[in-house]
Chain A
Amino acid sequence: MKTARSQLLWGLLFGIVFGFLLQRGGVTKYDVIIGQLLLTDFTVLKIMLSAVVTGMIGIHFMQGRGWIKLKPKAGSWGMNAVGGILFGFGFALLGYCPGTIAGAMGDGNLDALIGGLPGILIGSALLAAAYPRLKGGILQAGDFGDLTLPRALKVGEWSVIWPLSVIIIVALYLIERAGL
């Protein structure tokens, strides 16, 4: 699997834009991320949810026209719930996630570079070492494959997209009104 050179350049370019946006949003800062997890500053959720609404409408529109083919990840309760909680512990202890730590290194945070980065690499290597034992076991527990919400609910995708967009926008409105 060799990636074409032009795609590597596109990756770099998209990454520069993504990192720029995250830095301007403030989420390359430990204080902002911990503020979210302490529920005192909702910047992280505001960015994530407005990205999800914008992205969701656009990518499903493009898929409907046959321009792209989405690839929802397969998963299971053992994989996503257990892994998600473990990830969450790390999210709070480090105060960055794998994406924002890249940005945090870029805007000068040495705790990201000296503490967090080696940690993520060690953690990834540990999982790689444990993988043969986990793969046939807990990672399969409660397997649901590449299920999507519309298929789980047995409705068309736009029957999920529009109500979900409304719910997210109302939630964001309420967060603003609460002054968070």
Chain B
Amino acid sequence: MDWLTQVRWSPYAVGIGVGVLSWLTWLISRSPIGCSTSFARTAGMLERLVRGPQVEGKLYYREVKPVVDWQWMLVLGMIVGAALSALISGDFRWQWIPSTWASSFGTAALPRLLVGLVGGIFLGFGSRWADGCTSGHGISGTMQLAVSSWISAICFFIGGIAMAWLLFGVIGGQA
């Protein structure tokens, strides 16, 4: 049972595991693994809380209803699953500043949180613009051989590699 407490598993074992999991989500739930729609639904729920039920009349929320559905529970489960994994292996720790960030930009929390906030805004906006994220397009869509998903997944990495280079190479002076 050593594998259960190992901090890291082979990326191939993890990848094959995710692939097999995708068979089961299709077979049992008729749904592909995805994540980003749930954040849009949550945003809609919060908007409704603040601005009232008229939010449900917005064009976007008529198409993506602000409700808890299968995928929303999946994302909730992911928080639990990752916490379980980290607690079992002893990898869990509260952390403000990741070490790659600290080595370029120091250990102050505020810059990291602000850049993270801006990054999150781009992620939320971009994933809903593209109608999917690294899971929905990058894994579930590419395996269905969808042209939309292959274009999206490739562009995720083009944008990501360019911005990482700008951030760490140019601004951070690491390249």
Contact = CB atoms under 8 A, between A and B. Distances in A.
B53 interface: no
B139 A8 contact: no
Interface in B5-50: 6-9, 11-12, 14-30, 32-33, 35-36, 38-40, 42-44, 46-47
Interface residues of B, number: 132
Interface residues of A, number: 124
The B contact surface, by secondary structure, is helix
B139 A48 contact: yes
Nearest to B93: A108
Interface string B115-129: 111111111111111
B70 A10 contact: yes
A84 B29 contact: no
Interface string A1-22: 1110001111111111111111
Contacts of A16: 77-78, 80-81, 84
8 contacts: A59-B22, A80-B137, A90-B125, A92-B159, A122-B124, A124-B125, A144-B148, A147-B146
Given A12-B80, A52-B143, A120-B121, 7 more contacts: A23-B85, A88-B156, A120-B39, A124-B39, A127-B60, A134-B129, A146-B146
Interface of B: 6-9, 11-12, 14-30, 32-33, 35-36, 38-40, 42-44, 46-47, 58-61, 64-65, 67-86, 89, 91-101, 109, 112-169
